[in-house]
Homo-oligomer: A and B are copies of this chain.
């Protein structure tokens, strides 16, 4: 509920408001600019800014010497203007003096290269020197600003793990040994979990264990998976230590900004676990310019964040007003695109929408990253759109505190299942959790159906349909939970390469898909992944890509077989009634048409109710509170859309009598009262 409380702090009179603003880095500018900053923030309707994220080097220019004067001035200016501050503890980017004094605090890559200083996040999560320095800084900041009237929340660090995760140094190695000892107790238990009888890797003591550095062949996959978990935990320890110092001195909510689906096995952060430590769940989201339907990925990410926040409102800590700087080709957003993007986040549960950053930088790596105030200043179309966005958010501020209307569909996404799937030596490099999840999510989205994203062990009985895409790794608890869900009436869809291993990456022996085989009533014997760009025809539901299999059904009914190729005659899509529910298996990656055909069958009888008017271009999603709901219609396309609805459109203030026309590229938010 911290987000709800925060919303009320954003106005002077306690009226909840949608948080609007961005990262504010005044230290990059001459103080003479600050007054203009604040005046323009007011003009744009900014009510919340994040300050101090990259300020360590100026706040503590040499070890133990602090200079807070400039920050005092900045907070005072903001406070006087009524702008609230999300204050950082500034631990994200250690100053040069840290690695100069403690060279071993720099992280080491998988191939053993110790990284140099010169960018950001230049530290090893296990470094005692870094931890001590970050804690000292945090304490100083909390002591000085905990009771500052501008400060309403705390921003610990920034984008944990983005640039220094994981670290393979010797200090990390020793910490890994300690972590393993705590997890397993005995070295025999490690040997059992890691399957060290394979390839002669039996350990006789924890001291022999190392990080999974570059080796001659593929490294033990269980070791790699545990190292990912350890690496996430090690940074979480950093967060916990700093958050504890803050909470010791302040009652304001604490957050750190997540990064959506970015944290795969290569930079592992387990957000499901981390979210339990957050007072407010917040996220940074950036579109990929080369993705022609990036807004579908945005929608999926926003649904994931809502899941991490347990269904409660969450905070969009960063997105961009226009281009970013780190892709190969960084395109500006088209007119209206920024508004659509922001409204997507709000529609899906965000009660704050901030940007990186307030004023476009004049130097440094991110100088070509767009900002609220562009290089061209207030005479630009971008600035006018930002001001208009502030007005739009104000116009819909009544949605604050409402929840997304409870979806009837959940998609299962476990961190361990994703990381597990990204381990080496699998049947096909094309089996991708995020891609397959997006196929299902986007298919539903195109029919106006919103999905929740949940874990396999979460209570899912309230959903009519649960989809399990590429759940490579699953625990017994997960299996039991999903089995019970079907037994009690649920409709479950499980895709290829699910249920394969347990939490130690050990096979669920027997037929594939392993732990799901009995529930699904299928007995798949061998994987026959398709070659790149290859597709296989099915007897129904169109074509499959990525994967196919040899096998048979046991207790299931075959809905579609492979119609040609090596696996012709093997089941591709099956259905089994179990208990009062039904379990579907989809052994290949369906194309959009086939997926919609299948979803129509699964969702019959009211399990899935699509929203008329929705399409690949027209996104429809609603929030609700009590008898009132707010329907967001976001037209990403180049044609006007018509949607049947009765209510009041908040951005225009117009009454809608039954038919709403939303022009190409436009957004409508319609308040609907239950009659």
Contacts and interface: CB of A to CB of B under 8 A. Distances in A.
A526 interface: yes
A295 to B, nearest CB: 15
Given A115-B213, A376-B510, A323 B218 contact: no
Interface in A183-217: 194-204, 207-217
Contact of A95 (B200, B322, B504): B200
A163 B216 contact: yes
Contacts of A362: 195, 506-507, 509
A511 B376 contact: yes
Contacts of A380: 525-526
A631 B136 CA distance: 76
A172 to B, nearest CB: 12
Contacts of A97: 204, 208
A377 B510 contact: yes
Interface string A493-520: 0000000000011110111100000000
Nearest to A331: B528
Nearest to A101: B208
Contact of A361 (B121, B198, B529): B198
A237 interface: no
A366 B112 contact: no
Contacts of A93: 199-201
B118 A223 contact: yes
A213 B122 CA distance: 12
A427 interface: yes
Given A118-B210, A290-B531, A531-B329, A200 B56 contact: yes
A212 B365 CA distance: 13
A402 interface: no
A57 B220 contact: no
Contacts of A200: 54-58, 90, 92-95, 120
B217 A429 contact: no
Given A96-B209, A220-B118, A427 B329 contact: yes
Interface stretch (A127-135, A279-287, A367-375, A622-630): A367-375
A182 interface: no
Contacts of A377: 509-510
A214 B113 contact: yes
Nearest to A207: B100
A118 B198 CA distance: 11
Interface string A530-541: 111000000000
A367 B427 CA distance: 10
A526 B332 contact: yes
Contacts of A657: none
A62 interface: yes
A330 interface: yes
A430 interface: yes
A223 B379 CA distance: 32
A238 to B, nearest CB: 15
A224 to B, nearest CB: 8
A573 to B, nearest CB: 19
Contacts of A663: none
Contacts of A210: 116-118
A555 interface: no
A478 to B, nearest CB: 19
A394 to B, nearest CB: 25
A289 B528 CA distance: 10
A382 interface: yes
B118 A219 contact: yes
B90 A365 contact: no
B214 A116 contact: yes
A363 B215 contact: no
A32 interface: no
B217 A163 contact: yes
Contacts of A1: none
Most buried by B among A199, A332, A550: A199
A382 B197 CA distance: 25
B54 A506 contact: no
Interface string A44-72: 00000000001111100110000000000
Given A90-B200, A95-B201, A507-B375, A330 B363 contact: no
Given A195-B364, A197-B28, A198-B366, A323 B216 contact: no
Most buried by B among A25, A100, A212, A365: A365
Contacts of A326: 218, 425
A397 interface: no
Contacts of A57: 196, 200-202
A173 B427 CA distance: 39
A323 B213 contact: no
A525 B381 contact: yes
A566 interface: yes
Contacts of A139: none
Interface in A349-371: 360-368, 370
Contact of A428 (B107, B168, B213, B329): B329
A114 interface: yes
Given A118-B219, A119-B199, 11 more contacts: A28-B198, A92-B200, A93-B201, A96-B201, A118-B215, A120-B216, A328-B428, A329-B529, A332-B550, A360-B507, A375-B510
14 contacts: A25-B197, A57-B200, A58-B200, A96-B202, A96-B208, A113-B214, A198-B365, A219-B365, A325-B427, A331-B527, A332-B528, A363-B507, A379-B523, A380-B526
Interface of A: 25, 27-28, 54-58, 61-62, 90, 92-97, 100, 107, 111-122, 162-164, 168, 194-204, 207-223, 289-290, 322-323, 325-326, 328-332, 334, 360-368, 370, 374-377, 379-382, 424-430, 504-507, 509-512, 523, 525-532, 550, 566
Closest A-B pairs by Cβ, 8 of them: A116-B213, A195-B363, A163-B216, A198-B364, A57-B202, A332-B526, A118-B219, A93-B200
